[in-house]
Structures are given as structure tokens and as C-alpha cells.
A and B are shown apart, each in its own frame.
Chain A
Amino acid sequence: QKEVEQNSGPLSVPEGAIASLNCTYSDRGSQSFFWYRQYSGKSPELIMFIYSNGDKEDGRFTAQLNKASQYVSLLIRDSQPSDSATYLCAVNLGRGADGLTFGKGTHLIIQP
């Protein structure tokens, strides 16, 4: 059974600091990894995706993937109060059109 685990938080980070969000997954066959941000009552919005081991940077966001450890993380630099949200980690097997398996999300609070 595919599982994605995240610490539910809340994770409290001062404004301007780096927020580090972590995720582990159980299915070694997983090929694609995604980070979504979800505000209360809204649907998820894609922040980043990563397919290969290593780091991928996009603006203030860096995704890190370690397939050997089955671990994926998201770093948010220069955290802003508007970054306060629930961050969902999602994976799929990458076999064409697969639905995503989501973690329960980490609630991030950026303190002004």
C-alpha cells in the first residue's frame, strides 16, 4: 500500500528564516514527487515537482529528493507570512496518468 508520511505540525518559523518541510514515502517504485500548498478551504496549488535525485530550485523554494532514503523535502527561504499554509507532499508511480498519493500535510506558520 502506498503511503506518504509528513509531520502534521504546526511548524512555526520566524519571518525571514528558512522553513524546512519533510516527507517520506513507502513505495520504492515512486517516480514523481510534488509539493502543493493548500490554504484553508481551498484546493491545492502546485509549488514544485521533482523527478531526479538531488536539489531543484525555483525562486525561494528548493525541493530535495533522495530516492535511496525515500525522502523528499521542501525548503522555503526568506519565509513570508503569506507562506503560512498547509504543505502537501504527493507522489505517483509515474506510469503515464496516475493519480497522486498525498501525505496529510504539514501546517506551516510564519511568525511576523
Chain B
Amino acid sequence: GAVVSQHPSWVICKSGTSVKIECRSLDFQATTMFWYRQFPKQSLMLMATSNEGSKATYEQGVEKDKFLINHASLTLSTLTVTSAHPEDSSFYICSAISSYEQYFGPGTRLTVT
């Protein structure tokens, strides 16, 4: 099956700083990628849809100025959490579509201190 990678797998940052998370499709091209967030003991919540060459589409309640998404190529989407706060600590997971199936990356655990 298709492989999606994320980097870093975990990151710790101080409150007020920004963190960038990369999502790559390794063996296929993805015009669309998705970013999800999962808090402990909660389900995955779709944050935004990332489209190559155009602006991302954010779900209701997700601040687009805080969670910057850039889909610069057919194999790379980045999520930047700006001015991170402790409440942004979560498990961030990206996914990409290949042959109508969604494949998930391994996730990035963000801890904001």
C-alpha cells in the first residue's frame, strides 16, 4: 500500500514558539492531503484539507491563522502551529489519498510546555 511519512515523530516546544510538521507521500503523488488532530482518549478530528497549489480548507472552529498549511508540491504538505500554547499539545496526523483510499502518516506528538 501507499506510504505516508511525517516528521518529526515527536516534538517539544516552549509556549509562544512555532512548530512545523511535514507530511510526505513517499511512493505516490497526492493532490489532496488532510490534517487531523487527536487529543488523549478522543477520536481524530479533521482540521483541514490541504490542496496542492491552492489554499487549504479549514474545518469550522480551526483557526487558519494559527495552523498554517502549505501544500507546496504533490508529495509534501506542511502544518505550522504558530504561537503554540499548552492546549495545542496533541497528536497530529496527516493523511493522503491514493486510489480513493486514505493512508495515514505515523503521527506527530506535539507537547507545548
> A interface vs B, CB < 8 Å?
34, 36, 41-46, 49, 88, 97-105
Contacts and interface: CB of A to CB of B under 8 A. Distances in A.
A102 B43 contact: yes
Given A49-B101, A97-B97, A99-B49, A88 B107 contact: no
A45 B42 CA distance: 16
Chain B interface main SS type: strand
Contacts, number: 44
Contacts of A49: 101
B102 A46 contact: yes
Interface string B35-48: 01000001111100
B67 interface: no
B97 A42 contact: no
A42 to B, nearest CB: 7
